[in-house]
Chains A and B, each alone.
Chain A
Amino acid sequence: AQSVAQPEDQVNVAEGNPLTVKCTYSVSGNPYLFWYVQYPNRGLQFLLKYITGDNLVKGSYGFEAEFNKSQTSFHLKKPSALVSDSALYFCAVRVPSWGNTPLVFGKGTRLSVIA
């Protein structure tokens, strides 16, 4: 069975500083990994995904994530945080099979960027 772990419930960072939101996964085979962001009382917005190829994936709003197979991690990063980045971030994985398999989500990490 596949699973996703986001070890931090909350991450606080000062505006302008780099941010990292951690994610590790457990799947059989090659994972397809995703990051989504959720603002209050809103649905999830897609940020980026890793399927294959370059381990460093660039996404929306200046975010990027690095796939590390040996550490089974897919940490989300941004070089310089903005106050508007404050939101709930979800890492998700999909099993490597065809068909209608859904995303499996981590529990989420709340990012707070302080001015």
Chain B
Amino acid sequence: GAVVSQHPSWVICKSGTSVKIECRSLDFQATTMFWYRQFPKQSLMLMATSNEGSKATYEQGVEKDKFLINHASLTLSTLTVTSAHPEDSSFYICSARAGSGRADTQYFGPGTRLTVL
């Protein structure tokens, strides 16, 4: 089946630093990637949608200057949390979809747990 990887799986950083999270589709080309955030015992909150080679579309309330998304190729998207603060601590999950058909399945990465001290 389709595999999506994320790196790192967890990261601890100091307040004010930036953290980059990578999302890769390993065995398929992802025309669209999504970034989600999940708080403890809650559902996934969509942060942004990105297409290869174009700017990401951010959901309302998500700061695009804080959460930088780059979808440089059909197999790689990155999320950079800039000037991280403790409230940015969360579980970040990426998702990738091949094609643009209505029936296409989204496949999810294993997630990255970010802890900002």
Interface residues on B, range: 20 to 34
> Please, which residues of chain B bring their CB within 8 A of the CB of A32?
102-103
A90 touches B102 (CB 8 A): no
A103 vs B104: C-alpha distance in the bound complex, in angstroms?
A: 11
A93 vs B83: C-alpha distance in the bound complex, in angstroms?
A: 34
Whether A100 touches B110, Cβ cut-off 8 Å, given contacts A43-B93, A106-B43, is no
Whether A43 touches B105, Cβ cut-off 8 Å, given contacts A90-B43, A105-B44, is no
Q: Give the interface SS of chain B, mostly helix, strand, loop or mixed.
A: strand
Residues 4-39 of B, flagged 1 when their CB comes within 8 A of A and 0 if not, give 101000000000000000000000000010100000
A104 vs B44: C-alpha distance in the bound complex, in angstroms?
A: 9
> Please, which residues of chain B bring their CB within 8 A of the CB of A43?
4, 6, 93, 108-111
Q: How many residue pairs at the A-B interface have CB separations less than 8 Å?
A: 61
A51 touches B102 (CB 8 A): yes
The answer to whether the Cβ of A63 comes within 8 Å of any Cβ in the partner chain is no
| Interface pairs (11), CB distance under 8 Å | A32-B102, A34-B106, A41-B91, A46-B106, A46-B108, A51-B102, A90-B44, A97-B102, A98-B101, A100-B49, A107-B43
Those 7 A-B pairs whose CB atoms lie nearest each other, nearest first: A44-B108, A43-B108, A43-B110, A51-B103, A107-B43, A43-B111, A100-B32
Give me the interface of A with B, judged by CB distance under 8 Å. 32, 34, 36, 41-46, 49, 51, 90, 94, 96-100, 102-103, 105-108
